[in-house]
Each structure stands twice: as structure tokens, then as C-alpha cells.
């Protein structure tokens, strides 16, 4: 039985030990600082919301902000975290282990037995190969099948574009309102065996036994005051949680977040600049939703929101996408793109609902400029430092957005 989650939020001032060595040395360049931050972040482990690693990473981020001379706070929220127990598919003596979808219904320890076939067939257990992207054609097929409820269970095999070992989970957009049949996600290397089982009409057993356990997660926040409090504030936001180490998925955004804090704090900003790094990204932007509930007028009242999104640091299959709320937002970034000789591979049409956390601002009719992109290792455990990161290109994008932040904060 699925239990209803309740989020309780409290704000506390972070208690920190002093850092023995400064984050920045005189000989450090922006590229060296970015490399250091991404390396440290990725080495922490699996960044799933509310885990020990997620909370240790929150402490680390607070320390990094404090090392730049800016006070950081955290907002703690309680929630019920999914704890996988047994997640596997058994076919004729072979067992295929995987990762559960985090917003579906689950089985008990006995599981579900029945026929196995392609998604959309009359089989009890439907199988599909899919990218971990909800908007992709295969992602849309998965969502439709979950809503239809034709299958007793579903198995998603990681797409062949990803490395064959390792599961690439889909985000849990409906984490607070789970629905549909149990869904097991497995590595691509199992695809041939599953195809053989389907062809031979072999019976299968799927166990997706999970429980909910109480946990806490944290949004990390900071504010640099401007000289003119009557000016509308600027908000800089980035997600900080995800499925695995997330070197290129999340690392670029976190590095840019810290570079912008450094630059704004050493400049003379006229407007207030608010910074928020949110947990709960992979769980339907839960942390950002809580931040917006806490600051209900900020979407519309902010001069602009700067969204430092996913994957613009990626080395493999990279294609950077920029997203703007309006022509003025696009024009504000244009000179810095030119100066750093960077060009996006895609631009989301204005008026179209953007991807990532920028969608929350769009829904609230706020102004935004946003960067994210494609990633050949998206949501995959192979997204590790240093091989997954294009450091040189990442540094150019970070510099462009840092220059934009200074321009918007000081003008």
C-alpha cells in the first residue's frame, strides 16, 4: 500500500567548521576551480535525494560557499524515501537485477508472474528499450503504457545508445502521487536475453519490492545583498541531486553556481542576488517546489531567474540548449556568448514550456535564462569525472554565465 508523503520544511542556519585551506589559491584559474569542484562533487558517490551522500554533499556545498566569504543556510525537509529491497526479473533460472521506477506502485516480496512480451502486447509483463528522457518517443510510450495499465508490470531496458552495463533511470515526475504498474529498469546488456525470452514465450517473474523510509533532504541557499534594495532581485538556481555521480550532468551547474557567487561577492552588485541549490531534482523538482512555496512572490517579482541546468558539461553526445523567457533575456546573454565564442546547438522557442527547472518559472510567468543540454551518458553510472566532462568547453559556458550574472547584478 502506498503511503502519502508529507513534506515538512524548516529553515536552519548551517553550523560549520572552518575550512583549514582556502578554496582559492592565487594561481588558481577558473578552469582549475571548475575541475576541482566537479571532481569533488562526482567523487562523493550516488547523489540520490535524502541519502547520506546527498546530505554530506549539502555540507560540502555549504563549506564551499562559506569559503567564498558568503553565508549559506539550508532548508531541511522531511519526506519518505524509496528504499529498494528486491528488484529483479527472473526468467528460466536467469535473474536480471535493476532499479525501480520511483513513482510507480510496487509488489510485495512474492512479486508478479506471467507472460513476457513487447510493450503494448497482451503480455502480463511488457518490455521496451528506452532512453531515460520522458519527452523522447520511447519515454512517451512508457508513460502511455503506465497510464493505460494494460500490463501487470513493465521492464525498461536502457537504450543501446548508452553503455551496455549500468541502469539509466527515468526521473520520478509523479513522486508524490505514484501510479501505474510496477516498473523495473535494467541495463542494456540484458536486451538480447529478454528478446529471446519473448520470442520463446517463456514465463517470467518480476519482484519490485520496496519500502518507504523516513529521510531528510536539504536545499542550500545564500544571498548577496545589493546596494539598492528597491531593485528587483536576481535568482541563480541549480539542482544538486541525481541518480548517480552526475559528473557532467550536475557538475557543470554546481561549478557555475560557485563561480557566480565568487564573482558577485567580489563585485559591487546593485540588486540582491539570491542563490538556491535544490535537492529533489530527480523526484519531480521537489526541492525547488518547496523553495517556491516558501517564497511565493519570487517567481514574478524577480528581475530574472538564471537556471544552471543539466549536461552542458558533457563530453559525449553533447548539445547545449539555451532557453529564454523573452527577447530581452536573450539579448542580455548574447554579448557574452560572442566574447567566449560559444554557440548553442539548440534554442527552445520562446513561449514553449522549457525543460528542467526553468519550467517551474515559466509556469509561474517569471523571466528566465536557462542552460542545459544533451548527454550521451545521461542518468548513467558511467557519468564520472574526468572522462565524461569537456572541461575546456564547460569553462567557456561558465564564464559566459558568470559575466551575464555580473552584468545583471551591477547594471
Choose one of 185, 211, 237: the last residue of a domain.
211
Choose one of 211, 244, 268: the last residue of a domain.
211
Whether 300 and 393 map to the same domain: the answer is yes
Q: Which stretch of 8-22, 44-58, 99-113, 220-234 has the lowest confidence by average pLDDT?
A: 8-22
10 part of a folded domain? no
Whether 300 and 280 map to the same domain: the answer is yes
Query: CA dist 181 to 101, 196, 269, 294, 353, Å?
Result: 10, 23, 52, 34, 28
Give the pLDDT band (50/70/90) at residue 26.
very low
Q: Which stretch of 5-14, 40-49, 202-211 has the lowest confidence by average pLDDT?
A: 5-14
4 part of a folded domain? no
In a 3-state reduction of DSSP, which class is residue 322? strand
- Cis peptide bond upstream of 78, omega within 30: no
Boundaries of domain holding 132: 84-211
Whether 335 and 271 map to the same domain: the answer is yes
pLDDT for the residue 88: 98
Nearest-CA neighbor of 25 among 36, 41, 40? 36
Q: Alpha-carbon distance 178 to 105, whole Å?
A: 6
pLDDT tens for 115-146 read 999 999 999 999 999 999 999 999 999 999 99
pLDDT for the residue 408: 98
22 part of a folded domain? no
Choose one of 193, 211, 229: the last residue of a domain.
211
332 part of a folded domain? yes
pLDDT for the residue 4: 33
Whether 300 and 389 map to the same domain: the answer is yes
Give the pLDDT band (50/70/90) at residue 174.
very high
Q: Alpha-carbon distance 289 to 295, whole Å?
A: 10
What predicted TM-score, i.e. pTM, was given to this entire model?
A: 0.92
9 part of a folded domain? no
Q: What are the phi and psi torsion angles at 126 (to 5°)? A: -90, 140
pLDDT tens for 362-381 read 999 999 999 999 999 999 99
Nearest-CA neighbor of 172 among 80, 292, 61? 80
What is the number of structural domains in the chain? 2
The enclosing domain of 180 has a CATH number of 3.50.30.30
Nearest-CA neighbor of 262 among 42, 37, 14, 56? 37
Q: How are beta strands 72-91 and 203-224 bridged, if at all?
A: antiparallel
6 part of a folded domain? no
pLDDT tens for 235-294 read 999 999 999 999 999 999 999 999 999 999 999 999 999 999 999 999 999 999 999 999
pLDDT for the residue 13: 26
Whether 251 and 394 map to the same domain: the answer is yes
The enclosing domain of 354 has a CATH number of 3.40.630.10
In a 3-state reduction of DSSP, which class is residue 39? helix
Whether 249 and 385 map to the same domain: the answer is yes
205 part of a folded domain? yes
pLDDT for the residue 253: 98
DSSP 349: P
Whether 142 and 253 map to the same domain: the answer is no
Whether 51 and 100 map to the same domain: the answer is no
pLDDT for the residue 169: 98
C-alpha cell at 195: 528478446
Q: Alpha-carbon distance 286 to 315, whole Å?
A: 28
Query: CA dist 380 to 36, 160, 207, 384, Å?
Result: 22, 12, 23, 9
What would the mean pLDDT of 8-15 be, rounded to a whole number?
30
In a 3-state reduction of DSSP, which class is residue 401? helix
pLDDT for the residue 130: 98
Give the pLDDT band (50/70/90) at residue 27.
low
Query: CA dist 384 to 251, 331, 389, Å?
Result: 10, 34, 8
pLDDT for the residue 18: 32
Q: Is residue 226's pLDDT more than 90?
A: yes
Q: For the chain, what percent of residues have pLDDT higher than 90? A: 92
Give the pLDDT band (50/70/90) at residue 411.
confident
17 part of a folded domain? no
Whether 183 and 236 map to the same domain: the answer is no
Nearest-CA neighbor of 380 among 285, 191, 280, 246? 246
What would the mean pLDDT of 170-176 be, rounded to a whole number?
97
Q: For the chain, what percent of residues have pLDDT higher than 70? A: 93
Q: Alpha-carbon distance 6 to 377, whole Å?
A: 33
Whether 331 and 248 map to the same domain: the answer is yes
pLDDT tens for 304-329 read 999 999 999 999 999 999 999 999 99
Whether 167 and 249 map to the same domain: the answer is no
Whether 283 and 379 map to the same domain: the answer is yes
Q: Alpha-carbon distance 348 to 325, whole Å?
A: 10
Amino acid at each position: 500500500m502506498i503511503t502519502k508523503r508529507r513534506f515538512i520544511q524548516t529553515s536552519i542556519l548551517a553550523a560549520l567548521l572552518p575550512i583549514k585551506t582556502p578554496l582559492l589559491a592565487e594561481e588558481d584559474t577558473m578552469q582549475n576551480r571548475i575541475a576541482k569542484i566537479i571532481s569533488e562533487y562526482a567523487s562523493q558517490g550516488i547523489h540520490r535525494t535524502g541519502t547520506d551522500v546527498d546530505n554530506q554533499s549539502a555540507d560540502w556545498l555549504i563549506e564551499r560557499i562559506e569559503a567564498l566569504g558568503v553565508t549559506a543556510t539550508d532548508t531541511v525537509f522531511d519526506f519518505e524515501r524509496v528504499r529498494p529491497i528486491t528488484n529483479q526479473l527472473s526468467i528460466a533460472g536467469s535473474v536480471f537485477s535493476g532499479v525501480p521506477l520511483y513513482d510507480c506502485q510496487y509488489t510485495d516480496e512474492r512479486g508478479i508472474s506471467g507472460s513476457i512480451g513487447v510493450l503494448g502486447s497482451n503480455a502480463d509483463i511488457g518490455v521496451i528499450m528506452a532512453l531515460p528522457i520522458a519527452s523522447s518517443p520511447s519515454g512517451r510510450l512508457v508513460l502511455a503504457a503506465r497510464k493505460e495499465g494494460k500490463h501487470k508490470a513493465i521492464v525498461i531496458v536502457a537504450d543501446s545508445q548508452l553503455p551496455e552495463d549500468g541502469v539509466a533511470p527515468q526521473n520520478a515526475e509523479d513522486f508524490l502521487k505514484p501510479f501505474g504498474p510496477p516498473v523495473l529498469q535494467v541495463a542494456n546488456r540484458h536486451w538480447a536475453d529478454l528478446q529471446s525470452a519473448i520470442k520463446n514465450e517463456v514465463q517470467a517473474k518480476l519482484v519490485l519490492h520496496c519500502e518507504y523510509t523516513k529521510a531528510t533532504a536539504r536545499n542550500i541557499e545564500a544571498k548577496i545583498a545589493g546596494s539598492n534594495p528597491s531593485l528587483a532581485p536576481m535568482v541563480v538556481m541549480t539542482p544538486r541531486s541525481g541518480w548517480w555521480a552526475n559528473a557532467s550532468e550536475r557538475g557543470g551547474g554546481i561549478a557555475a553556481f560557485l563561480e557566480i557567487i565568487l564573482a558577485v561577492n567580489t563585485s559591487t552588485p546593485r540588486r540582491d542576488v539570491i542563490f538556491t541549490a535544490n535537492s529533489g531534482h530527480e523526484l519531480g523538482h521537489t526541492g525547488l517546489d518547496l523553495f517556491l512555496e516558501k517564497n511565493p512572490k519570487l517567481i514574478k517579482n524577480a528581475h530574472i531567474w538564471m537556471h544552471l541546468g543539466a549536461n552542458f558539461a558533457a563530453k559525449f553526445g553533447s548539445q547545449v540548449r539555451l532557453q529564454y523567457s523573452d527577447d530581452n533575456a536573450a539579448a542580455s546573454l548574447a554579448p557574452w556568448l560572442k566574447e567566449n565564442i560559444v554557440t548553442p546547438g539548440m534554442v527552445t522557442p520562446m513561449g514553449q514550456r522549457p525543460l528542467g527547472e526553468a519550467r517551474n518559472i515559466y509556469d509561474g510567468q517569471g523571466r528566465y535564462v536557462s542552460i542545459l543540454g544533451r548527454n550521451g551518458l545521461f542518468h548513467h553510472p558511467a557519468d564520472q569525472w574526468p572522462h565524461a566532462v569537456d572541461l575546456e568547453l564547460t569553462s567557456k559556458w561558465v564564464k559566459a554565465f558568470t559575466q551575464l550574472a555580473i552584468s545583471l547584478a551591477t547594471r
